[in-house]
């Protein structure tokens, strides 16, 4: 039996009613928690099959943010290593794993803010793209520490997540300017640091984030502006260690323009792009700051459990 909440959450993630790599991960784990609570499985094996099935449905919601499979695989891993327990004890362990993931991932955003804010100086102008809770945690923490900062935020077509960003920052009292995505290079001259989030980070330190991120990185590189990525360690992709590529989600053309009005025209809508490690100065994680070239070590140290299916 698949819990209604699993079906509903999968739909909400797919439709981007729930969005942002961290939020997607927590929502998937909440749904898995519900699956565990309503499960009527009579044996450990049936229980595991049921949770695995729900996990697979959730993982299929969006392909790019590795936070989603990493989060549900963390719960599955904790179930697998405890499969010798009786069913009630196993469920308890599984629920504990869900709660730990949610608690730790929220704490990670706070820590990234604290660690990243040390890299922000009084008087900085910061450019950001899309709407990343991790990147905004750095900006807000620096501001709350009394640093006088200004933010330039892109609107982030086609879904305009930049509107969420400017609202969030201006509610906080931060001086924020909204620009169209194509104005990035023009404004880069006024910028001291760029901070963006990440949906996935490959073992070689390449960062997959909202479409247009690599354009900010190029412009920053040209203008010799520092380029920071704020990301929790569960956004690093263990599969890329084995040479697997991160899939770039292409969403419906109607998000870009009404296909009815452009008959005979191809409309493309990739949701993410890849910024090579050479364009990234630092990745700010909850465990500390690393150069992108150290991504491999994050996967080795923090995501050891992700090899769960070889257990
Ligand atoms: P946090 C978002 O993807 C953006 O690309 C953002 O930079 C990234 O997730 C990380 O967001 P989308 O869901 O986890 O808007 O830092 O497609 O909030």
Picking from 183, 161, 287, 152, the residue whose alpha carbon sits closest to that of residue 230 is: 287
- Residue 33 Cβ < 6 Å to ligand 1: no
Tokens read off for 300:
């080795």
The model's pLDDT over 186-237, given as tens digits with 9 standing for 90+, comes to: 999 999 999 999 999 999 999 999 999 999 999 999 999 999 999 999 999 9
Atom of ligand 1 at shortest distance to CA of 231?
16
**134 CB less than 6 Å from ligand 1?**
yes
The 10 Å Cβ neighbour count of residue 91 is 20
In a domain, 309, yes or no: no
Q: Do 118 and 94 share a structural domain?
A: no
Q: Strand, helix or coil at 153?
A: strand
Domain of residue 57: give its range. 4-108
Residue 186: inside a domain, yes or no? Answer: yes
Task: Indicate whether 287 pLDDT > 60.
Answer: yes
Q: Which two tokens stand for residue 26?
A: 């927590």
Full DSSP string of 74-97: HHHHHHHTTTTS-HHHHHHHHHHH
Is 104's pLDDT higher than 60? yes
Beta-ladder partners of 153: 128, 178
Ligand 1 lined by 210 (C-beta under 6 Å): yes
Query: What is the rounded CA–CA span in Å between residue 131 and residue 163?
Result: 8
Task: Return the residue whose CA atom lies nearest to atom 6 of ligand 1.
Answer: 132
Question: What are the CA-CA distances from residue 258 to residues 48, 136, 201, 214, 253 (Å)?
Answer: 44, 32, 33, 26, 8
**Residue at 293 is within a domain:** yes
Per-residue confidence band for 309, with pLDDT thresholds at 50, 70 and 90: low
The helix-helix angle for 133-144 and 87-117 (nearest 10°) equals 50
* 22 C-beta closer than 6 A to ligand 1: yes
In the chain the first and final C-alpha atoms are separated, in Å, by: 25
Q: Is the CB of 161 under 6 A from ligand 1?
A: yes
Q: 209 C-alpha vs ligand 1 centroid, how far in Å? A: 7
| Same domain? 240 vs 298 | yes
Q: Is 26 in the pocket of ligand 1 (CB under 6 A)?
A: no
Mean per-residue pLDDT of the chain: 96
Q: 122 with 271, same domain?
A: yes
β-pairing, 125-128 vs 193-196, is parallel
Best mutation site among 67, 105, 131, 235 for ligand 1 pocket (most ligand atoms within 8 Å of CB)? 131
Identify the pLDDT of residue 242: 86
- Closest of 139, 156, 165, 133 to residue 235, by C-alpha: 133
Residues 153 and 22 in one domain: no
What's the average model confidence in pLDDT over 49-65? 97
* C-beta of 130 in contact with ligand 1 (< 6 A): yes
Domain match, 150 and 284 both:
yes
| Domain final position from 108, 143, 168 | 108
pLDDT above 90: residue 305: no
Ligand 1, residues 15, 16, 27, 132: which to mutate, most atoms within 8 A of Cβ? Answer: 132
* Single residue among 108, 132, 150 that ends a domain in this structure: 108
Do 160 and 225 share a domain, yes or no? yes
- Is the residue at 82 inside a domain? yes
Rounded to the nearest angstrom, the distance between the alpha carbon of 212 and the centre of ligand 1 is: 13
Q: Is it the case that residue 27 has pLDDT exceeding 50?
A: yes
pLDDT one-digit tens code per residue, 110-163:
999 999 999 999 999 999 999 999 999 999 999 999 999 999 999 999 999 999
End-of-domain residue from the set 108, 136, 159: 108
Q: Is the Cβ–Cβ distance between 43 and 87 less than 8 Å?
A: yes
- CATH classification at residue 167: 3.40.50.10470
pLDDT at 227: 98
As a whole number, mean pLDDT of residues 103-110 equals: 98
So which residues are the catalytic ones?
130, 199
**β-bridge mates for residue 226, sequence order:** 193
Q: Quick check: is 310 in a domain?
A: no
Residues 54 and 119 in one domain: no
Q: What is the pLDDT of residue 310?
A: 45
Atom of ligand 1 nearest to the CA of 135: 16
Same domain, 65 and 123: no
- pTM as predicted: 0.96
Whether residues 179 and 99 fall in one domain: no
Query: Which alpha helices (DSSP H) does the chain contain, by range?
Result: 4-14, 21-38, 44-59, 67-80, 87-117, 133-144, 161-171, 184-188, 213-222, 295-302
Asked if the model's pLDDT at residue 10 lies above 90, the reply is yes
Where residue 132 falls (left for φ over 0; alpha for ψ -120 to 50; beta otherwise) is beta
> Looking at the chain, how many residues does it have?
311
Number of domains in the chain: 2
* Same-domain pairing of 125 and 251: yes
Residues ≥6 apart with Cβ < 8 Å to 13: 19, 24, 27, 28, 58, 61, 62, 68
| Pair (131, 67) in one structural domain | no
Decide if 205 contacts 283 (C-beta within 8 A): yes
């Amino acid at each position: 039996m698949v819990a209604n909440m699993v079906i509903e959450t999968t739909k909400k993630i797919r439709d981007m009613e729930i969005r942002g790599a961290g939020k997607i991960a927590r929502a998937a784990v909440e749904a898995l928690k519900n699956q565990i609570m309503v499960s009527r499985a009579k044996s450990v094996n049936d229980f595991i099959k049921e949770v695995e099935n729900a996990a697979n449905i959730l993982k299929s919601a969006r392909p790019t943010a590795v936070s989603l499979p990493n989060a549900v695989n963390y719960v599955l891993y904790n179930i697998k290593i405890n499969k010798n327990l009786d069913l009630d004890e196993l469920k308890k362990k599984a629920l504990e794993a869900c709660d730990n993931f949610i608690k730790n991932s929220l704490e990670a955003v706070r820590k990234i803010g604290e660690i990243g804010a040390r890299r922000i100086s009084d008087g900085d102008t910061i450019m950001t793209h899309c709407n990343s809770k991790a990147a905004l945690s750095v900006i807000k923490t620096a501001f709350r520490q009394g640093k006088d900062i200004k933010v330039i935020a892109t609107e982030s077509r086609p879904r305009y997540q930049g509107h969420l960003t400017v609202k969030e920052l201006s509610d906080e009292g931060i001086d924020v300017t909204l620009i169209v995505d194509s104005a990035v290079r023009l404004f880069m001259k006024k910028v001291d640091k760029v901070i963006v989030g990440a949906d996935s980070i490959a073992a070689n330190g390449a960062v997959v984030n909202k479409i247009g991120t690599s354009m900010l990185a190029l412009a920053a590189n040209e203008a010799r502006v520092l380029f920071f990525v704020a990301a929790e360690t569960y956004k690093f992709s263990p599969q890329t260690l084995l040479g697997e590529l991160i899939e770039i989600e292409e969403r419906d053309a109607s998000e870009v323009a009404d296909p009815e009005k452009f008959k005979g025209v191809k409309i493309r809508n990739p949701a993410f792009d890849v910024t090579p490690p050479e364009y990234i100065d630092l990745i700010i994680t909850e465990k500390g700051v690393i150069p992108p070239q150290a991504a491999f070590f994050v996967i080795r140290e923090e995501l050891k459990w992700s090899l769960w299916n070889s257990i």
